[in-house]
Structure 1
């Protein structure tokens, strides 16, 4: 069982560039992947998304990708030979035609300082240069993310198993009290009817039948049996290696349904206190379930 909360980091360091990938995930009903990456890596965005969705079933994931290039490989210096030759020819002509023969002749270093002779040319990146390093860093980040989500999931699982055991203990108390509560309700109804109709001749057989019907309506045997069935389903789901969050979320709703029904059928103070305790535990389970993949 995996949590939806986690963090993973991966890095690739090559001769001319390095790539760092960070992934943060939190709980979400669906799989929501947000990717921030340099423009040069845009062609790989869909491949990154597919890789993440194949590894993660649910959660909101923020992916940050940083690319650093070696500055010495990012641009080249080019000599504009034709322009340099033109400068040289013009200066030589001027030197020979002028009256300043006492001045030194033009030098090559002087030509290099002329505007436009040396040009800094930004290299045009080929995104495929970075593909292998990108997906290597992504794989490492995903591996670390999944490990953290598994560890968090195991912690959640242990906590939920303890809460499940506590819930079963309270259900057993409610089940033990149920027959006496029904008998108390039956006796209370009988006393109330006899008190309200003390001056009316009662058909004891009819009264017994009506009391039996009312007692049956207040019985909670079926709800208790369904709660035990839900506990068995819980045990099965929580041990599976498949994503369990949605199934557990539905099961928690069923727990609440049965507990609310039990609460509506009883007026016994002790039983109502037990209902409150059960609802408290189920709410805790619900909160934990929200973070399960």
Structure 2
């Protein structure tokens, strides 16, 4: 399954801990690189999140943003009545020494220990966080697969075009060799000195060997078949395709360097254009 490395997805879940939201943004990268942004009270779960993402993604630069919106309710807060009683006693004892002293209600609430917010269970928090992350990862995978299917179609179109060019060059080669023989015969005929018997055949064999591209065409055909096979695999194939693009480019360069005919020269140029287009698309494949 071809998957793109460029995608966005988000998900959220609500529970006793509040509302948790996870956002995932991914772009192409040679390896898997995760950049998490978590609230301070969720930092302890970073390693768990990293493991979960690494189990689902193999390549790409991943930006993870987690937000927590606490839904504070009156029954979720506890007031330490005993502490308030002690503070009131202290206030009465100091009233004579500090006449007119006033304490605001909100200041009392801010006194350490007066207001006690119910602590969330770490296991409950982790379960909620992973639930939101898994939903975001599912949505991300679906998006990456849709984009990957489009990339695969583009690559197959270019493979078909490369295959047509290879077939054209194969069909031209007999004419190119015959044209080479005619030019060589013309040059030898212009020589004033007599030509040794068999010289024409020797020169022809030498020249044909120098411009022979059958091996390059065969390798291109092999690379086309391999690329089509790789596109059908279920595992991440970005690195394999990237390597194949290098092999495609090497054969196209050799084909161009051996060309002695305008048709094969143009074919080599067109091959390089198609291969470069494929290489750019492959950079986005996981």
Could you tell me which of 252, 258, 264 is aligned with 1:259? 252
The answer on whether the counterparts of 1:111 and 1:117 sit within 8 Å (CA) in structure 2 is no
Give the TM-score taking structure 2 as reference length.
Answer: 0.87
Could you tell me which of 58, 77, 80 is aligned with 1:78? 80
Change (3 A) 1:116 1:275: closer
Q: 1:201 Cα shift?
A: 2.9
The answer on whether the counterparts of 1:87 and 1:111 sit within 8 Å (CA) in structure 2 is no
Cα distance between partner residues in 2 of 1:284 and 1:191 = 42
The answer on whether the counterparts of 2:39 and 2:66 sit within 8 Å (CA) in structure 1 is yes
Consecutive unaligned residues of structure 2, counting only runs of 5 or more, are none
Rg: which structure is higher? 1
Cα distance between partner residues in 2 of 1:173 and 1:116 = 87
Q: How does 1:7-156 map to 2 (within 5 A)?
A: 7-72=8-73, 76-79=78-81, 80-88=84-92, 119=111, 120-121=114-115, 123=117, 125=119, 128=122, 129-156=124-151
SS of 1:71's partner is coil
How many residues are aligned here?
275
Cα distance between partner residues in 1 of 2:176 and 2:86 = 106
Q: 1:216 Cα shift?
A: 1.5
Cα distance between partner residues in 2 of 1:219 and 1:113 = 96
Could you tell me which of 154, 160, 177 is aligned with 2:155? 160
The answer on whether the counterparts of 2:78 and 2:116 sit within 8 Å (CA) in structure 1 is yes
Give the TM-score taking structure 1 as reference length.
Answer: 0.85
Consecutive unaligned residues of structure 1, counting only runs of 5 or more, are 95-109
Q: Is 1:210 aligned to 2:203, yes or no?
A: yes
Change (3 A) 1:116 1:176: closer
